[in-house]
Structure 1
Amino acid sequence: MAQMWRCSGLRWAAGGPELVWSGGRASALTWGKRVAFGVVEGGVRTCVGARGHACPGRAAVPGRSTGARCGECARLDRAHSVAADAVPDDPRPYHVYLAWFGPGMAKVGITAVERGSARLLEQGAVCFSWLGAGPLMAARRAEELLRAALRVPDRIPYAEKRAVRAVLPGTEAERAAEIEELHGRAVTLGGWPESLAREPFRAVDHVRAFGLEGAPRAVGEVSELVAGGVVSGELVAAAGPDLHLATGGRGVVVLDTRLMTGWELVPVGGGGAGGETSVPVRELKGGGGGGLQDGLF
């Protein structure tokens, strides 16, 4: 019987993206690598728990949930989140940043200084610039000020980020233009917290890190995994939690690795029986897929 694995998600390490498995083992992902796995026949997707603790009821969770948590574990996880202002006494310094995901799609956010650009890679930011650095609550106040003054959100749905990856401008200067203009407006605003040190505009571009330069256009996205289903393809790019997989005659399909969590997975062969992608795939918004249906192939 094949060994079963549980995926903990995608991690952006110094050398690039890695799939992390329960127990801490990681699989490095490189362009051209074949990603192939099956979902255990008759399996049920179960809650991944919260804050390092298993779900006491091993509750079943929907296949389309990217959080893979039951209601109680989701509340517990949120209760200890910086994003929810649940830890205002965090002593670490925080960066305020501007991130850009595609034309007309910029956001403001904060991340711990010690994390460097990891948060931006995890979000799939095509390019970004720091705005300032300081204590958590000062960074949070600056974030709220900038959201209102610049009229930019602090969250952008992943579906919208995927939709614009195929129409990104060709040069780094073009990709940085929107956040450069926003940065210029931001640093002239009044009301900045005194304890927040402003930082100059320096654009960091992730197109090469994501493998998007010259990558074939994605035409579909996996909507959920199902018991007995298979995902198989050659990795051509990755951004945020998304893997762009070339699946042969079906073109490039995007797999949000958050859909893998909570399932028991087994390895499958790269070709022949059992090696064909057989999970629900829908046309990618803006991808021009045309014939892909939201159902089993």
Structure 2
Amino acid sequence: MAHGWTCSGLRWTPDGPVLGWDGGRRGALPWGKRVAFAVPEDGVRRCVGARGHACPGRIAVSGRSTGARCEECARLDRAHSVAADTIADDPRPYRVYLAWFGPGMAKVGITAVERGDARLLEQGAVCFSWLGTGPLMAARRTEELLRAALGVPDRIPYAEKRAVRSALPRTAAERAAELRELHARAVDLPGWPESLRPAECHVADHVTVFGLDRAPGAYGEVVELAPGGAVSGELVAAAGPDLHLAVGERGVVVLDTRLMAGWVMVPFGGPGDRLGLPVREFRRAQEGLF
């Protein structure tokens, strides 16, 4: 197999998105940067392991899996996840948040106070507001209260988030309106845990952070990587794990960097833009953002 690097995922830093690679290598992703790589013809996607441990069997995994883990490693990773509600004795304080991704698309979630807004950047939240702070189990009960009383989900598929990014309201005030209303309804609910301290509504907007205020709308998303596939395009925006790449006449396509995990990749040195990966077009009509 050709020598290359293995991607360890996209991280959000105070300076913007950074793509990580094996061996601790990190590459900053400023707007306008050319992202170009290829999967060798003999490439095989291998399980990335769990909790810092390599997969014992280096098992081959599906190209469409965003987790890039075999069944056993996925089970191990899930067993130690706060998001899976399997940890009840975490002593750290937690925040409950409301995140908004587009019209009619809001969710409730929790994150450790020490993480700041990193979780919201990782999820691609267009805007968000804190709802309250307290112990883990109190945060969990508040999350469940909103799901039961207001029908607010705790998960929204990434495919749905991507499909509405190019049709967002133009102003921050318009984008915040739905979130403000939801926040007001939430704090008025009876049954809040006494140990959870409510927070005033203060909506933070990530449109500029993600570069969505200047990027053309995307027409579709990469479905999977495959042996012999390649992509070369200009980075125009990023949100959550997604890179928005301009690939010439075809326009802008969204690449979920989680699909890169487990592949050994090599630089693509071909001329111009290239998109040699399967793409699924978004179902709803896309309009220019601004």
Matched-pair contact (CA < 8 Å) for 2:63–2:226 = yes
Name the residue aligned to 1:214: 214
In 2, Cα distance between equivalents of 1:22 and 1:191: 47
Equivalent residue of 1:6, what SS?
Answer: strand
Matched-pair contact (CA < 8 Å) for 1:220–1:287 = no
Can you give the 5+ residue segments of structure 2 that lack an aligned partner in the other structure? none
For residue 281 of structure 2, what is the amino acid of its counterpart?
E
Q: CA deviation at 1:214?
A: 2.8
In 1, Cα distance between equivalents of 2:63 and 2:13: 27
1:215–1:163 Cα change, 3 Å: same
Equivalent residue of 2:23, what SS?
Answer: coil
Matched-pair contact (CA < 8 Å) for 2:167–2:286 = no
Q: Deviations over 1:50-95 (max 9, x none)?
A: 0111111111101011010011110010000101122111111000
Q: CA deviation at 1:280?
A: 1.0
For residue 284 of structure 1, what is the amino acid of its counterpart?
F
In 1, Cα distance between equivalents of 2:285 and 2:244: 12
Name the residue aligned to 1:100: 100
Matched-pair contact (CA < 8 Å) for 1:99–1:125 = yes
Q: CA deviation at 1:150?
A: 1.5
Equivalent residue of 2:9, what SS?
Answer: strand
Name the residue aligned to 1:295: none
Name the residue aligned to 1:196: 196
Name the residue aligned to 2:150: 150
Q: Deviations over 1:170-214 (max 9, x none)?
A: 111100111100110111111111111100000000000000003
In 2, Cα distance between equivalents of 1:182 and 1:121: 20
In 1, Cα distance between equivalents of 2:86 and 2:22: 27
Matches within 5 A, 1:158-169: 158-169=158-169
Q: CA deviation at 1:146?
A: 1.1
Equivalent residue of 2:31, what SS?
Answer: coil
Q: CA deviation at 1:288?
A: 5.1
Name the residue aligned to 1:177: 177
Name the residue aligned to 1:110: 110
Q: CA deviation at 1:268?
A: 1.4
Q: Does 1:236 align with 2:236?
A: yes
Matches within 5 A, 1:31-46: 31-46=31-46
Q: Does 1:124 align with 2:124?
A: yes
Aligned length: 287
In 2, Cα distance between equivalents of 1:163 and 1:288: 8
In 2, Cα distance between equivalents of 1:144 and 1:180: 19
In 2, Cα distance between equivalents of 1:287 and 1:155: 24
Equivalent residue of 1:189, what SS?
Answer: coil
Equivalent residue of 1:109, what SS?
Answer: strand
Can you give the 5+ residue segments of structure 1 that lack an aligned partner in the other structure? 290-297
For residue 268 of structure 2, what is the amino acid of its counterpart?
V
Name the residue aligned to 2:80: 80
Name the residue aligned to 1:17: 17
Q: CA deviation at 1:3?
A: 4.5
Q: CA deviation at 1:228?
A: 1.3
For residue 229 of structure 1, what is the amino acid of its counterpart?
G
In 2, Cα distance between equivalents of 1:119 and 1:254: 20
Q: CA deviation at 1:231?
A: 1.1
Aligned identity (percent) is: 75
Matched-pair contact (CA < 8 Å) for 2:2–2:40 = no
In 2, Cα distance between equivalents of 1:90 and 1:122: 22
TM-score normalised to structure 1 length: 0.94
Equivalent residue of 1:106, what SS?
Answer: strand
Equivalent residue of 2:160, what SS?
Answer: helix
Matched-pair contact (CA < 8 Å) for 1:46–1:262 = yes
Q: CA deviation at 1:276?
A: 2.1
Root-mean-square deviation (Å): 1.4
Match of 1:285 among 266, 283, 286: 283
Matched-pair contact (CA < 8 Å) for 2:166–2:286 = no
Matched-pair contact (CA < 8 Å) for 2:68–2:259 = yes
TM-score normalised to structure 2 length: 0.96
For residue 244 of structure 2, what is the amino acid of its counterpart?
H
Larger CA deviation: 1-10 vs 212-221:
1-10
Q: CA deviation at 1:147?
A: 1.2
For residue 286 of structure 1, what is the amino acid of its counterpart?
R
